Structure 1
Amino acid sequence: MTVIIPGSQRALKVTGPGQFQVSSANAIPTVADDEVLVKVVAVAINPIDGKSAELSPTTGATSGCDFAGSVAQLGSNITKSLKLGDRVCACIFGNNPERLDNGAFSEFVAVPADLVLKIPDSMSYQTAATLGVAVATVGMALYYSLKLPSPLSLKNESRYFLVYGASTAMGTMAIQMAVMSGFSPIAICSPRNYDLVKSLGAVATFDYHSPSCGSEIHDFTNDTLVYALDCIADTSSMTICYKAIGSAGGHYLSLDPFPIRCHTRRSIKPNWISTLTMFNQAVNWQIGYRKEAKPKDRAFGHEWFKTAQELLDNGHVKPHPFKEMIGGLDGIVDGITQVRKSEVSATKLVYTI
């Protein structure tokens, strides 16, 4: 099979704080030895797309993390069994100060071959575009940071696992993985999304609007809760999680830098992760989000995506609900704005390129 790669491409570029513009005649990313070049078919918006451009914009960088498409070029030293034309999905480091030409919101993207998932024949590109960031992030959170049993282990822990922001794409993936690791997930979200999280395995749901939310969870779990994953990471969410964790203490993990003033219990170990460290590149964003290159995170990603591929192949991963939008690359800015204004709930916005 021969894939014709053009000399240039259209891409959504960061032009200033929270500002974007579709640009033509951009370079196609150069493919490293361990990478594949993917012709993008569909992309999905994540909160980080708008947040990173607002807090740490890199003028000229390509935006976007989540994508699905077909393999257009193979690096010379890839370790995963892939061929031209294979349907794949993944996530990539968008708004990357060190690689301006590479981001999901474009026509072609380069990604490490071992960090892609082959899309099942029964799944559309649009559905698959919702998976990359969630699979990578939840893998890092549950199995690298918190060191839960593998979702392939079939263990029954008979313990609770709290997910704040449970109806987000990260939250719904975390619920599924926690169930497969033998835990009983407790979901904190809006009541309108209770049915969604329960359908994925949540054993109990709580409304974050309730002034007694944390105390209610503490009572429900009989003072035994050890693990809390915070997909929101603000003052309110961290406070609720800390109230919910049992008196013996435990682990609080957020997906963004957490407000340090809310670390009010010495018996709880707080931490936050950035999925971008899975690429073993320094995250040279503004202070607060900056991370050094981490080879161990890259090594974890290599193994985790083998596990994730097996789960996907066996039908154990249910993608997040999504809404297919119109406008292609030209429509993405409106979608980013909707997400930043919290006008989107329990749904990912997906665009066909």
Structure 2
Amino acid sequence: MAQPQNQAAWITAPNKKPFDIQDAPYPSPGLGELVIKSAATAINPVDWQIQARDQGFLKYPFILGEDVAGVVVEVGPEVTRFSKGQRVLAYLDGLGTGNPAHSSFQLYVLAKEILTAEIPDSVAFEQAAVLPIALATSAAGLFQEDALNFPLPSAEEPKPTGKTVLVWGGASSVGATAIQLAVAAGLTVISTASSKNFELVKSLGVSEVYDYKSPSVIEDVVNAISGTDFAGVFDAISETSTFDAVRAILAKLESNVKVVTTSPYDRPTEQPGPKFVIAVTVAQDPHKHVAKAIWNDFVPKALENGRLKTKPNPEVVGKGLHDIQHAVDVLKEGVSAKKIVVNF
């Protein structure tokens, strides 16, 4: 039987805009890989950042995109958890592998079993698409031994650890997922968000949430953490203003807990300093047990029983590859408490 025709939204040269909609090779699954027919993809800041300013590490032409939800159409050797026809979400690490087949702005994608999870029928594809890179980034920061090294999450009732973590930026995609994973790991979570997003953040299980725009936010967070077993910080925003806020909080608490950031820390600091986590590391040695705990053990059960919510909500801004550029532009303009998604 003839292979399906694949197409992709290619970036053909540094800073090239718009994406070029062209044919793409139909992927062939290797060891531990599967082919997914895309139903929805989400847009991430790295997508517009690469298109706006060449990062210097890509070989062009290339395909961007990290989040996909869809249906399994083919499995490779030694894939044991999936079969044709299953509904799944997957984090695609094309930026790490350099292989455009491992990217989501195309009709058929090549995913790794270790970074793929089944989704229940109750979860729509556009909802599922908001999660993958946020899961990978959050898991890397919260559970890897070289990061915060918290206990792995449970899809059932977690055992309380008695420890408290600060998640700065709880209404962001990564922040919302980090909160849920931390709660599922038995941690007490303090967070920040704009006041209009308090209800969203509270619905994810935080103990307290404070307005990051408030002039008293530093004191508010310090007072909330004081007297607890403070175990770390996950800065889901990781901009200059949040680095400064977290540093001020730690200074007032006289605390030396580990801080995780999602972009490089831009302030001089004494070693060991903040830990910059990259999503792809969660599927690499020595961290593969973390990926297994998330995609195999936690996500399918937690989506089914409601302990993992697909937050923030998706905002579908188009259908098909020709709308990828519009979606990237929408995200570049700025969004709050939502994830930009394109359906296929």
CA distance in 2 between partners of 1:89 and 1:272 (Å): 25
CA distance in 1 between partners of 2:100 and 2:41 (Å): 18
Taking the TM superposition and a 5 Å limit, the aligned residue runs for 1:197-276 are 197-222=201-226, 224=228, 225-245=230-250, 246-261=253-268, 263=269, 269-276=273-280
* 177, 182, 186: which one aligns with 1:182: 186
Conserved 8 A contact 1:214-1:243? yes
CA distance in 2 between partners of 1:20 and 1:299 (Å): 39
Q: CA deviation at 1:4?
A: 6.3
CA distance in 2 between partners of 1:223 and 1:60 (Å): 54
Q: Aligned residue for 1:170?
A: 174
Q: Aligned residue for 1:64?
A: 65
CA distance in 2 between partners of 1:254 and 1:100 (Å): 27
RMSD: 2.2
Percent of matched pairs sharing the same residue: 26
CA distance in 2 between partners of 1:48 and 1:331 (Å): 18
Quick one: structure 1 residues 101 and 272, their matched pair in 2 at CA, closer, same or farther if it must change by over 3 Å? same
Q: Aligned residue for 1:286?
A: none
Quick one: structure 1 residues 79 and 269, their matched pair in 2 at CA, closer, same or farther if it must change by over 3 Å? farther
Q: CA deviation at 1:300?
A: 3.2
Does residue 77 (structure 1) correspond to residue 78 (structure 2)? The answer is: yes
Does residue 304 (structure 1) correspond to residue 294 (structure 2)? The answer is: yes
Q: Aligned residue for 1:149?
A: 151
Quick one: structure 1 residues 20 and 141, their matched pair in 2 at CA, closer, same or farther if it must change by over 3 Å? farther
Q: Aligned residue for 1:91?
A: 91
Taking the TM superposition and a 5 Å limit, the aligned residue runs for 1:12-161 are 12-15=9-12, 16-17=14-15, 19-53=17-51, 54-56=53-55, 58=58, 59-80=60-81, 82-95=82-95, 98-144=98-144, 145-152=147-154, 154-161=158-165
Give the letter aligned to residue 342 of structure 2. Answer: Y
Quick one: structure 1 residues 75 and 111, their matched pair in 2 at CA, closer, same or farther if it must change by over 3 Å? same
Structure 2: runs of 5+ lacking an equivalent: none
- Give the match's secondary structure for 2:291: helix
Conserved 8 A contact 2:94-2:101? no
CA distance in 2 between partners of 1:32 and 1:242 (Å): 45
CA distance in 1 between partners of 2:243 and 2:89 (Å): 32
Larger displacement relative to structure 2 (189-198 or 134-143) = 134-143
Q: Aligned residue for 1:288?
A: none
Quick one: structure 1 residues 212 and 19, their matched pair in 2 at CA, closer, same or farther if it must change by over 3 Å? farther
CA distance in 2 between partners of 1:333 and 1:156 (Å): 44
CA distance in 2 between partners of 1:25 and 1:162 (Å): 45
- Give the match's secondary structure for 1:296: coil
Q: CA deviation at 1:160?
A: 2.3
Quick one: structure 1 residues 221 and 300, their matched pair in 2 at CA, closer, same or farther if it must change by over 3 Å? closer
Q: Aligned residue for 2:310?
A: 319
Does residue 330 (structure 1) correspond to residue 322 (structure 2)? The answer is: yes
Aligned length: 331
Higher relative contact order (CA 8 A, sep 6+): 2
Q: CA deviation at 1:103?
A: 0.9
Conserved 8 A contact 1:35-1:75? yes
Structure 1: runs of 5+ lacking an equivalent: 281-294
Quick one: structure 1 residues 319 and 4, their matched pair in 2 at CA, closer, same or farther if it must change by over 3 Å? farther
Q: Aligned residue for 1:292?
A: none
- Calculate the TM-score normalised by the size of structure 2: 0.88
Conserved 8 A contact 1:129-1:350? yes
- Calculate the TM-score normalised by the size of structure 1: 0.86
Give the letter aligned to residue 348 of structure 1. Answer: K
Q: CA deviation at 1:279?
A: 4.5
- Give the match's secondary structure for 2:310: coil
Q: CA deviation at 1:67?
A: 0.6
Conserved 8 A contact 2:152-2:290? no
CA distance in 1 between partners of 2:291 and 2:153 (Å): 15
Q: CA deviation at 1:124?
A: 1.2
